[in-house]
Structure 1
């Protein structure tokens, strides 16, 4: 992934107003991110831990969506699988819900997916970050195919947000 600027990130949001995009917390460490190992940029808002954001580069311009976490404490101790990167975590997966873009989102419609709580899917797939014992299942897919699947899963989720 090519490095993104704060302005590129803020203008990429498709499911919030320009004012909301202007006020959201963009990571301060953009220059220090491992861009060569990222397929998408994802982060949690340090000022509002129930908020998260993802930016997926596409052919013409990046697309960003805002997410809300629905952390019901009871299931956090069970093993769960991220629907984006297929990594298994104990307490490290959250249901993240995104308001749909446009009129549907204004009417309260949303879509959700179980994702790695820290949104570090790219690093888990590449085994640059450890998910613990049994976190990454043995697969017959190559690393490139696993990366393609991760990007395709996130792109499918974002397509539901923008539909």
Structure 2
């Protein structure tokens, strides 16, 4: 991912008002992010821990962002949960059902869409964990490349649902 300015992020939200976008708190490490190793940028608002943000730059250079809400009390399952974006399996407290208002009138009418996402949005790091080399995965780098593409595709599908598609 190429570096994205705070202004571009604030202007790219599908489901947040201008005032909500202008008040968002950027991640503490925003100025030192490792942009080259990110396919998505996500973070929890340090001042409002139930609020999250997801930023996705498409291959055509456009940036799409969504405002998300986590459930009160975190995850409530007694089993491991699969993140729908990176497909990494985590303990019950590491994945939340993040919910986004739909874009446009549908969202203003109260319609939402949700998906299971890593609680701290570490999906880009998760897909980069190389599996051990074996008969099933003879080329770990190829597996990582497939995971990265899968993360991008699934993120775009979720954003399309927020958009109303």
Deviations 1:38-72 (A, max 9, x none): 00110000001000001000214200000000145
- How large is the Cα RMSD of the aligned pairs? 1.8
Aligned pairs for 1:103-142 (under 5 A) are: 103-127=105-129, 142=143
- How far the C-alpha of 1:74 sits from its partner, in A, is 6.5
Q: Partner of 2:84 in structure 1?
A: 83
Deviations 1:58-99 (A, max 9, x none): 214200000000145562552111011111111200000000
Unaligned runs of 5+ in 2: 131-135
Q: Partner of 2:4 in structure 1?
A: 4
Q: Take 1:146 and 1:61, find their aligned partners in 2: how far apart are those partners?
A: 22
What TM-score, normalized by structure 1, do the two folds share? 0.87
Q: Partner of 2:144 in structure 1?
A: 143
Q: Partner of 2:159 in structure 1?
A: 158
Q: Partner of 2:45 in structure 1?
A: 45
Q: Partner of 1:18 in structure 2?
A: 18
> Deviating runs (4+, > 4 A) in structure 1?
71-74
For the 8 Å contact 1:71–1:94, the answer to whether it is kept is no
For the 8 Å contact 1:71–1:95, the answer to whether it is kept is no
What TM-score, normalized by structure 2, do the two folds share? 0.86
1:102 aligns with 2:104: yes
- How far the C-alpha of 1:31 sits from its partner, in A, is 2.1
| Structure 1 residues 111 and 144: alpha-carbon distance in aligned structure 2, compared to 1, 3 A threshold | same
For the 8 Å contact 2:11–2:21, the answer to whether it is kept is yes
Unaligned runs of 5+ in 1: 129-138
